[in-house]
Structure 1
Amino acid sequence: MSIPFQWPAAYVPAVQPPADPPERSLWFVFRGAELLVAAAPGSTTLPHCNHPNTLGMMPQRIQYLGVLGEQHCFSAELAVDAVAPQGWIWLGLRALFGTLDEAQFALAGRALQIVDWDRTHQYCGACGKTTAARTNERSRECPGCGLVAYPRLAPAVMGLVRREMQLLLARAPRFPKDMYSALAGFVEPGETLEQCLEREVYEEVGIRVRRVRYFASQPWPFPHSLMIAFFADYYSGEIRVDGTEIEDAKWFDVRNLENLPRLPARISIARRLIDAAKGEMLA
């Protein structure tokens, strides 16, 4: 099962570019969270060049990502008001799902996280001095106090609760109109993933669960999450939404497919989790 944003099999990560870089590399050029692409009907392509300045663009920062197949890959960050060259446009990653090459799309998610981390760790969080990129690993070190900063990852657990032929789906205020999804929340210090799921489900909808079972995980670069998805069985309780993170939650019978709500987009592991549960329960 291929998960959007997971490393492509042909990708080899690295932090130091070759001493003699090739004339053409693959570039992931960002303006904020938007990626520079050349758009054509039904497809998009990334810059293949020696440097973004060949397109008239001046990056604020550049990061070497490694090799995808036989192509060296770089990410670059431009100013938030940068204008795309003629024939190029800025698009967010969600809009590029299904139109960009699958391996390049996956690596674009990694590139966005690296760009965001590099921008937000230019200065030491302990003493305020300017940090420097280390050459032997993906990190930045403070020359003053020695603090080393690594790319951030915020683990978040997602749980789909099952009760006989029903799935518990919930709606958060930030969701698109009429959309419901599995419950999710960030892991707290000292928690196991299973404890996090049990706590989040109870806090958000008042339901106790049991038999927590791992499904899959997904890097989620908005901006630096790792989603870990589980199935769980209903144990006890009645739905009682918290009214803050969750505004509505319902049991949906998978046998009545026409009555299911709008579900998350297929880019997310939430949709894959729900589809897998439906397939298993209806088999």
Structure 2
Amino acid sequence: MPGWVSSYSDQPPRQGDGLVIATGQALVRSGSGWLHDAMAPGVPLSETSKPVFLGELDGRRIFVARPQNQALPEEELLGLRGAMLGDDPVRATLASTACQVLHWQQDHRFCGRCGSPTRDHALERAKWCENCKIPFYPRIAPCVIVQIMDGDTLFLARSSRHRMHYFSLIAGFIEPGETAEQAVARETLEETGLRLRNIRYQCSQHWPFPHQLMLGFLADYDGGDICLQEDELAEAGWYRPADMPPVPPDTTIAGRLIESACAIIEQSDRGDSGK
């Protein structure tokens, strides 16, 4: 993202720095939007969670901290999912980074091997166990998401877990020992009964629920009848671009993969009409 550089520093905030105040699943609004003055935050900060450096936005140092009151009124908050689905890429990136760092800070206060308290590493973004002499880095869980195509139709599915009424794509976590392409094929077969060919990587996106890195693919249908895993998917089917149900916006990787597939179909249709 232009203007944003993620980096590490152990220096505290100073005059002119920016501050994201987050609860873990929401940002605390400021008078001018969502970015606060680090030296004059709009709400009291938690006394047990010091501001943590995230990086620089257009040369301005940005930190994240928790509010003292974790139960702020809803009108003072911007939900994390809303920030990710909105049309402000700067806000989405900082919201994602801030909430993932806060989760990591909360979950790695103690060493997972010996139980001793950890401390901040002096040179990089890591927690350090002095007893075991090992670092603990922020967790990132690699996931795959795929747009399946069959000629001029797209496979779309509605989740049985989410309240949003979008039809989206098949996705899941990569298992130990798997390649991303193998995970695409396995997740698709498990959740839909469909087999794939020509699995090809397209793009990626951070997704802070709580710490995924989504790897996006296109793939072609290679057989099988639809048989849905009901605890994952409520309904699914094949759709032409002109007849699609509501789908995620193009600020999400799912939306961008759907757009890419539609563009491929449109280009193919233009080529066929020119023959």
Q: Distance in 1 between matches of 2:72 and 2:238?
A: 47
Q: Distance in 2 between matches of 1:197 and 1:80?
A: 42
Question: What residue in structure 2 maps to residue 119 of structure 1?
Answer: 106
From 36, 40, 48, give the equivalent of 2:37. Answer: 48
Contact 1:113–1:224 (CA<8 Å) still a contact in 2?
A: yes
Q: Distance in 2 between matches of 1:182 and 1:243?
A: 15
Question: What residue in structure 1 maps to residue 162 of structure 2?
Answer: 175
Residue-by-residue CA offset, 1:118-148 (whole Å, 9 max, x unaligned): 1110011111110011011111011222232
From the superposition, tell whether residues 212 and 166 of structure 1 become closer, same or farther in structure 2 (CA, over 3 Å).
Answer: same
Q: For residue 69 of structure 1, what is the amino acid of its counterpart?
A: D
Partner-residue secondary structure (3-state), 2:197: strand
- Could you tell which deviates more after superposition, 101-110 or 147-156? 101-110
* 2:139 is the counterpart of 1:152: yes
Q: Distance in 2 between matches of 1:182 and 1:55?
A: 39
Partner-residue secondary structure (3-state), 2:66: strand
Q: Distance in 2 between matches of 1:59 and 1:139?
A: 21
Question: What residue in structure 1 maps to residue 7 of structure 2?
Answer: 14
The structural deviation recorded for 1:17 is 4.3
Question: What residue in structure 2 maps to residue 57 of structure 1?
Answer: 45
Partner-residue secondary structure (3-state), 1:241: coil
From the superposition, tell whether residues 123 and 202 of structure 1 become closer, same or farther in structure 2 (CA, over 3 Å).
Answer: same
Identity among equivalent pairs (%): 34
* 2:64 is the counterpart of 1:71: no
Contact 1:13–1:65 (CA<8 Å) still a contact in 2?
A: yes
Unaligned runs of 5+ in 2: 268-275
What is the Cα-based RMSD across aligned positions, in Å? Answer: 2.3
From 227, 243, 262, give the equivalent of 2:246. Answer: 262
Contact 1:178–1:261 (CA<8 Å) still a contact in 2?
A: no
The structural deviation recorded for 1:171 is 1.8
Residue-by-residue CA offset, 1:234-279 (whole Å, 9 max, x unaligned): 111111112221232211122xx2x311212333110111111112
1:1-283 matches, cutoff 5 A: 8-18=1-11, 22-38=14-30, 44-50=33-39, 52=41, 55-61=43-49, 62-79=51-68, 81=70, 83=72, 89-96=76-83, 102-176=89-163, 178-254=165-241, 257=242, 259-283=243-267
From the superposition, tell whether residues 127 and 221 of structure 1 become closer, same or farther in structure 2 (CA, over 3 Å).
Answer: same
From the superposition, tell whether residues 264 and 32 of structure 1 become closer, same or farther in structure 2 (CA, over 3 Å).
Answer: same
The structural deviation recorded for 1:78 is 2.9
Structure 1: 4+ residue segments shifted above 4 A: 97-101
Question: What residue in structure 2 maps to residue 5 of structure 1?
Answer: none
Partner-residue secondary structure (3-state), 1:214: strand
The structural deviation recorded for 1:66 is 2.5
Q: Distance in 1 between matches of 2:88 and 2:165?
A: 31
TM-score, scaled relative to structure 1? 0.85
Contact 1:171–1:246 (CA<8 Å) still a contact in 2?
A: yes
Q: For residue 278 of structure 1, what is the amino acid of its counterpart?
A: C
Q: Distance in 2 between matches of 1:206 and 1:250?
A: 12
Q: Distance in 2 between matches of 1:182 and 1:100?
A: 20
| Count of paired positions | 265
TM-score, scaled relative to structure 2? 0.87
Partner-residue secondary structure (3-state), 1:38: coil
Partner-residue secondary structure (3-state), 1:111: helix
Unaligned runs of 5+ in 1: 1-7
| Structure number with higher strand proportion | 1
